[in-house]
Amino acid sequence: MERAHNFFAGPAVLPLPVVEETRDAVLDFANLGVSIMEVSHRSKEFDAVMLETQKDALDIMGLSADEYACVFLGGGASLQFAMVPMNFLAKKADYVITGEWATKAFKEAKIVAESVKAEAVKVASSEEANFTYIPKELKWSPDADYAHITTNNTIYGTQWRTTPDVGAVPLVADMSSDMLSRPLDFSKYSLIYAGAQKNLGPAGVTMIIVRKAWVEEKARKDLPTMLKYKTHVDKGSMFNTPPVLPVFVVGRTLKWIRAMGGLEAIGERNEKKAKMIYDVIDAYPEFYRGTVKNPEDRSRMNITWNLPTPELEDLFVSEAKKRRMLGLKGHRSVGGCRASVYNSCPMESVEALVKFMEEFYRAHK
């Protein structure tokens, strides 16, 4: 089967070798004669998958298993919007609002804050400019229980290029759409969560990386069992039946990342792919109107632009689809066009898109 050029924002493109390995495991997992979808999560074969996936994640991030736990949960990043404040908000938490998902995380924090007589603080926001930049003037609260950022914004095409300095305050990040896309000092974070369906695997599982000591020392003890991070850290993500198939796919994707050369190589590749598209946008600024003007704020994962008219945007998406380029329509809330070029997006797909953008410009300028 000839693969289409997949630019969907999520669920998104997976590495072809991972798709093929998953196909085989769906038919026969570990030579057991049963599917990965049928195997007991308590079997030694799946237990090995879970343990290896957790180890690979921490190894790739350069984190110690003595200090950090890798946990896999359902509920997507949306559940984490509530779980983080439920576990750690006692008096005050700082939030930077850089897009729709950061807004939703803040909304959940405010609900929790009201119930525990605490405060969720909006440190900064780029809403007044339709979230087209990352705020620079930040006044963090030195006494906050934690500070929260959303590292990449799929809808508006912005990305934190550096990790903010929040002092001794625990830093929490939603990395759903740029997780493991570049080298970072992950030890600066006390908790990272990421829905898998953009850069790690399929929909249905969320990866959480959390500092164990923070859970032990600061997390609330009076929560329902399933909503306590300690439950899942202590049980190694096996307190209840985990999403077996998605965890398997994440595990294979992590091995693919290592085979590609790790985060250094992945980051260089992602920079190159994004630059190819931004170069076309910058070459024809009156035609391809990039929504994020400051190069320092531009996402390397989700590249957004407008054309002179909505009709031209519809034509662009339609003509691209005829060339088997899928997912180029912008998010329904903002319109325009968007190319999501996650880790697994092949260079060949980006080359095909750039060529099409050049041709479309010449035909319709």
DSSP state of 162: S
Amino acid at 263: L
Provide DSSP, 198-241.
TTTS-TT-EEEEEEHHHHHHHS-SSS-GGG-HHHHHHTTT-SS-
198 catalytically annotated: yes
Question: What pairing do the DSSP bridges indicate for beta strands 302-306 and 337-340?
Answer: antiparallel
Please give the C-alpha separations between residue 217 and each of 22, 100, 151, 166, in angstroms, as whole numbers: 39, 31, 26, 20
Query: Do the beta carbons of residue 251 and residue 55 sit within 8 Å?
Result: no
Q: Reply yes or no on whether 279 is catalytic.
A: no
Between β-strands 206-211 and 92-97, what pairing exists: parallel, antiparallel or unpaired? unpaired
Q: Of 73, 76, 70, 74, which is closest to residue 57 (Cα–Cα)?
A: 70
Distance between CA atoms of 355 and 345, rounded to whole angstroms?
16
User: From the candidates 56, 174, 178, 297, which is the catalytic residue?
Assistant: 174
Return the structure tokens found at 229.
């991070």
| DSSP structure class, residue 69 | E
**CA–CA distance, 341 with 344 (Å, rounded to integer):** 8
Pick the catalytic residue: 101, 140, 214, 256?
101
**Which is the catalytic residue, given 94, 110, 178, 198?**
198
Note if 101 is an active site residue.
yes
Residues forming the active site? 101, 174, 198
